[in-house]
Structure 1
Amino acid sequence: MAQNSELKRAFQAFRREIEYCSYCPKLCRFACPVAQIEHSETVTPTGKMTLLRLVRDRVLPFDADSADVFYRCTGCLISRTYCEHRIEVMPVLEAARAEAVARGVAPARAMQALETWQKQGNPFGEDLSAIVRNHVPEKYLDGSAEVLLFPGCTALHYHPANLEAIVRVLEALHVDFRVLHQGRICCGNPIHTLGHRETFATHSRELMARLAGWKTIVSPCPTCVYYLKEVYARTGLKPAGEVLHISEYVAARLSELSVREPVEKKIIYHDPCHLGRYLGVYDPPRLILEKATGQQPLEFYEHREAGTCCGGGGGVPLTHPQTARAIGQNKMQDFARSGAELLATACPMCQRMLDRSGREQGAVVEDVIALLAQSLGPQG
């Protein structure tokens, strides 16, 4: 099959990444969470990039079999931690996924995801506005304010109670805020990472228009923060105001909060990939946990930039759910050996994946802001 101009541009743009990875001695091989689970050289970062080179050189066809490999990546960025050249694999794979969608050879679930997303503007096809209205006092829904809370689709779908905790903390800080509750409450990552570029481009322009004028935007979802700050900027779109993860915003004002009921449990913290390796935010969640408990959280052996993945990124839970779940189970096995009583994280997808994987062993997974809200005691 002939290569179209868009694919040629992608190969040219990522020529360094493809060449370096193809001939690398696989220094990142041991760290890739997908390769650890699937025991396949093909799905290592080196294997994926070698496959792309072979497609580029027309040694192999760009068909459904090759496209499937490009969807076996969580985008965790752990390979960059151990890469001498700091190569980022996911942007290359996302370009390949966009081509797979254009050719109609992407995995069936990746193709069907667009139809679901278009129903309500989120990957769950549900009315997220109703969820916001059910968990947020009406006074925080309309009008202007200094801060806009962008909940994100994953947080609303899986952990709506966390939204109440965020409101509780912002109220305790006397923040003038409102919560986005109308239209599409999604950053667009679910369709972008699966390869639906045209729909994402339209959505991103519409969302930026709705976010114009806000001085500060905060979100509990690291992926939303990364997209609003970094991914949109690549296409010339960027909010006029500052975009922060909720842990960054709250950690800067911890001295204003009084803890009445410290959380008396041994807590270990899981670094979300987007919050840590993508955004470089490591200390704020830990400071919040220290405030809520009175002690520093325990650490996994592999943490901060070397922290392991929950399995929830890159669309893998949709296209390859068994692999995604097994990655999460690996993390929860580490938790079982840690001696901690509770696992805390600062990402709704991480909380979802780890909570689901840890249910069999009775593990408890909580959000850091929810724990902070709990430590503040009853309101009033």
Structure 2
Amino acid sequence: MPDPEKRPETTPEKRFAEEWRNAAYNCFSSGHKFCREVCPVTQVTRNESWSPTAFHANVVAMEQGELEIADVAADYVNCTGCGACELRCPNSLFTGDFYRFRTRTVDLVKAVRGLAVRQGVHQPAWQRWNLLTDERGHEPVLNGTPVDQARVRDWAAGLDLPIGGETILFVDCEAAFHRTSVPRAVARILNLAGYKFGLMHEQWCCGGPAAEMGYEEQARRFARHNLDDWRAGGVRRVLVLDPHDYVTFTEDYPAYFGDAYDIEIVLVVELLAELIREGRLTPHVPVERTVTYHDPCRLNKRKGVWREPREILRAIPGLTFHDVDRVTQWSYCSGAGGGLPVEKPELTARISEQRVGKAAELGVDTLVSACPWSERPLSEAGRARSIDVVDLHELLAESLGVAP
């Protein structure tokens, strides 16, 4: 009988690999690497260590005792969480083939980042970002924008919005503190349509960025706070304008709270398209621009939302709309997701430059987005090509005559 004292040590990496081995081996053993050409990071770096295939291969190596999390944690920074690799993977594409397994690269990357944090392996900018978020209740945002709890509703000054109620509008940190014209446009549009809503008593960050960077415990605490605030205010429905919040509220929160989570989550873009169809909103002010639309990855690739933004654009008089060549699963990424602009802003900039370059090929003067986080790096890239980057909600507000 083997001596228990001589059994191989079960390391955290090996325990982690046992949980993720099916996902890892299904990728590692296929060898197709179809995911590389749709991965925004691989497109601009050609670094195989940062490819979706490598992310899975590392787990196989950890199971075999060849790698520790400290050896590879920094590689997992290089993922925007866009999900393009999952859509392109044959495990997902070919229903009924011998794999019979859907690739879960986005979940795997989050899980590896979480393992790294639990093992005390931190990325410097991510660690500082989350310490500041924990201290302030909100993300620090970028470029030194003032952030604190007392200012979270400053964007709504003069709009006379109630606090609490059955329906509230949740405004992400980037929009609440930096892109304040976006939530103001949304509020004015909803008021024009007679759609009643309020604001939270004490809104904190959704917790999604912390979860994406591996700070799982912090993410759960923030989620618990927000859910408790909603319940205390009698909230049954939460409107969200940011795709990152939408994914957090429809995927992370249900995983945290299970059947106890019965809050309806409504994406503002889908709501606005519905209000236009019902005749409660009628764009009438011509907007003379030649535009294309940037699909936020978390709407298009992750949640399958791509029709409604185009409905809104086609309802605006004066627009000349040129669609991209990949309008559903294969849309381009801005590089602004998954914590990448926090730890590697230079890589986000390269991805955004590539995205704006694709827009320039269409001969447009404006790139329209529906994601506050994508608009910052896209705007910086757009200036070099004389292409404006405009938020979809603001564009609609202009055509409705209620622009801030």
- The answer to whether 1:227 aligns with 2:248 is yes
Matches within 5 A, 1:116-265: 116-124=132-140, 126-127=147-148, 129-137=150-158, 139-144=160-165, 146-180=166-200, 182-184=202-204, 186-212=205-231, 213-237=234-258, 239-254=261-276, 255-265=279-289
The answer as to whether partners of 1:122 and 1:153 remain within 8 angstroms in 2 is yes
181 and 124 in structure 1: CA distance in 2 versus 1, 3 angstrom threshold: farther
Match of 1:54 among 53, 61, 72: 61
- The answer to whether 1:73 aligns with 2:97 is no
Quote the Cα distance in structure 2 between the aligned partners of 1:183 and 1:95: 26
Q: Give the Å deviation of 1:307.
A: 0.4
3-state DSSP class of the match of 1:178?
coil
Deviation per CA, 1:255-281, whole angstroms, max 9, x where unpaired?
Answer: 212323121211100110111111211
Q: Give the Å deviation of 1:378.
A: 5.0
Residue in 1 that maps onto 2:398? 374
Residue in 1 that maps onto 2:88? 82
Report how many aligned residue pairs link the two structures.
Answer: 375
Q: Give the Å deviation of 1:16.
A: 1.8
The answer as to whether partners of 1:211 and 1:239 remain within 8 angstroms in 2 is no
Identity of aligned residues (%): 26
Quote the Cα distance in structure 1 between the aligned partners of 2:365 and 2:149: 32
Quote the Cα distance in structure 2 between the aligned partners of 1:249 and 1:136: 23
Q: Give the Å deviation of 1:247.
A: 0.4
The answer as to whether partners of 1:128 and 1:157 remain within 8 angstroms in 2 is no
3-state DSSP class of the match of 1:365?
strand
Residue in 2 that maps onto 1:19? 25
Residue in 2 that maps onto 1:318? 342
Code of the aligned partner of 1:161: S
Residue in 2 that maps onto 1:111? 127
Q: Give the Å deviation of 1:129.
A: 4.6
Residue in 1 that maps onto 2:114? 98
The answer as to whether partners of 2:244 and 2:298 remain within 8 angstroms in 1 is yes
Gaps of 5+ in 2: 1-7, 93-102, 142-146
Quote the Cα distance in structure 1 between the aligned partners of 2:159 and 2:35: 49
- Say which is worse superposed, 89-98 or 99-108, in terms of deviation: 99-108
Gaps of 5+ in 1: none
Deviation per CA, 1:131-170, whole angstroms, max 9, x where unpaired?
Answer: 52343435204242x4210011122233101111111100
Quote the Cα distance in structure 2 between the aligned partners of 1:327 and 1:178: 37
Q: Give the Å deviation of 1:236.
A: 2.3
- Say which is worse superposed, 220-229 or 208-217, in terms of deviation: 208-217
Match of 1:267 among 262, 271, 291: 291
- Say which is worse superposed, 116-125 or 69-78, in terms of deviation: 116-125
The answer as to whether partners of 2:41 and 2:50 remain within 8 angstroms in 1 is yes
What TM-score, normalized by structure 2, do the two folds share? 0.87
- Say which is worse superposed, 296-305 or 76-85, in terms of deviation: 296-305
85 and 378 in structure 1: CA distance in 2 versus 1, 3 angstrom threshold: closer
Deviation per CA, 1:60-87, whole angstroms, max 9, x where unpaired?
Answer: 2221x41001111100101112111121
Residue in 1 that maps onto 2:96? none
Quote the Cα distance in structure 2 between the aligned partners of 1:253 and 1:151: 20
Quote the Cα distance in structure 2 between the aligned partners of 1:358 and 1:28: 27
Code of the aligned partner of 1:83: C
Code of the aligned partner of 1:341: D
Quote the Cα distance in structure 1 between the aligned partners of 2:180 and 2:272: 19
- Say which is worse superposed, 358-367 or 131-140, in terms of deviation: 131-140
- The answer to whether 1:282 aligns with 2:306 is yes
Code of the aligned partner of 1:240: D
CA RMSD of aligned residues (A): 2.1
The answer as to whether partners of 1:131 and 1:156 remain within 8 angstroms in 2 is yes
195 and 239 in structure 1: CA distance in 2 versus 1, 3 angstrom threshold: same
Code of the aligned partner of 1:362: S
